[in-house]
Amino acid sequence: MTVFNHVSFDDHENVVFCHDKQSGLKAIIAVHNTNLGPAVGGCRMWNYNSDDEAINDVLRLSRGMTYKNALAGLTMGGGKAVIIADPKTTDREALFLAFGRAINKLGGTYYSAEDVGVSTSDIMIANRETPYVAGLEGKSGDPSPYTALGTYLGIKAAVKHQRGVDSLKGLKISVQGVGHVGYYLCKHLHEEGAELIVTDIHQASLDKVATEFGAKIVAPEDIYAQEVDVYAPCALGATINDTTIPLLKASIVAGCANNQLAEVRHGEKLKQMGVLYAPDYVINAGGIINVSFESDYDAAKSTAKVEKIYDTLLQIFSKADEENRTTADVADEMAKHIIDAAAKS
């Protein structure tokens, strides 16, 4: 196992391995870059198959947060934490208290929040040991509805750019993962008249969107080959890969999942196929934008800033066309420019 030579290591400032014998906490916190401010990014709890898988995830996710926060215009750096454990663990108090102590030791260089497998109530527990957490109940709260709003507007931007239309009415949209964000996304899409095809591994979540929004349910392995206009990955990362790309019928890939492209070359492949890809960290920034208002919460200001995701994506799509580059490459360049400028100031 290696960190400095790891394929996903990207000049991360700090990678901390945390262990607490009593609670059984095994976590990794990665601070990628603090040029723009303290690193902020959620904590994911997952049954990783190996420590290396967890390291890869935290290195990639924390880098994504630096880029996401920069392009969203936030004065925050990028970081992320992963807890290696079953996300369905019921005995969570000791675990999240220990996690809170681990964050506290970083002295405010990293602020945590919820992510996959972690809820706001877990972060409330960590908050008993550290002030360096965000997305708390009674403050900015659950970021998911804001992530969903940004993702919905991002899908509209992609449709506008590719087809010149403002409405999603009658479009077929497949959604992989109808959890916290996926549910609210389906609500927006349904209210605008889109036809939904959904999948998940959790039956109760599927039943809810089928009942409330008339969504058609398909098996997880069948989601990629659906005859749809837009594919929205809203579960885990790396679902755009060598196996799934040949199956895709959608001409737009736009969803909230982090790290959707398994590798950079998969973005190039989508471009060659004429598939418009909305870079994940741009379209899914709504939640972190909402979290950035934590200290002096204002829902209207937060919503107005989330709505800017639409314009940022239109700018990226146009530049990518003009320069014959991938949208992911253009987004990275724009973000790097902001991060490098902050280092010099």
| Positions marked active-site | 80
CA dist., res. 214 & res. 283, Å (int): 25
| Residue 284 binds ligand NAD, judged by CB under 6 A | yes
Q: Which of residues 112-131 bind ligand NAD (CB under 6 A)?
A: 115-116
C-beta separation of 106 from 29 below 8 A: yes
- Cβ neighbours around 31 below 10 Å, total: 24
Residue position matching structure tokens 């349904």? 190
Shortest reach from residue 286's CB to ligand NAD, in Å: 7
Stretch that binds ligand NAD, among 256-264, 267-275, 299-307, 310-318 (CB under 6 A): 256-264
- How far, rounded to the nearest angstrom, does the alpha carbon of residue 233 sit from its chain's CA centroid? 10
Site string for ligand NAD, 79-118 (x = CB under 6 A): ------------------------------------xx--
C-beta separation of 294 from 135 below 8 A: yes
Shortest reach from residue 103's CB to ligand NAD, in Å: 19
CA dist., res. 210 & res. 214, Å (int): 5
Stretch that binds ligand NAD, among 102-110, 170-178, 268-276, 295-303 (CB under 6 A): 170-178
- Cβ neighbours around 342 below 10 Å, total: 16
Helical spans, DSSP H, in the chain: 51-71, 93-104, 120-126, 144-163, 180-191, 203-213, 264-272, 280-283, 286-291, 299-323, 327-344
# binding residues, ligand NAD (CB under 6 A):
27
Stretch that binds ligand NAD, among 23-31, 102-110, 229-237, 267-275 (CB under 6 A): 229-237
Q: Name residue 258's amino acid.
A: N
Shortest reach from residue 107's CB to ligand NAD, in Å: 25
| Residue 69 binds ligand NAD, judged by CB under 6 A | no
Three-state secondary structure readout of 270-281? HHHCCCEECCHH
| Closer to ligand NAD by Cβ: residue 130 or 151 | 151
Q: Quick one: which of 71, 84, 98, 181 contacts ligand NAD (CB under 6 A)?
A: 181
| Residue 257 binds ligand NAD, judged by CB under 6 A | yes
C-beta separation of 284 from 146 below 8 A: no
Stretch that binds ligand NAD, among 24-32, 180-188, 303-311, 318-326 (CB under 6 A): 180-188
β-bridge partners, 199: 176
Site string for ligand NAD, 186-215 (x = CB under 6 A): -------------xxxx--x----------
Residue number of the CB closest to ligand NAD reads 179
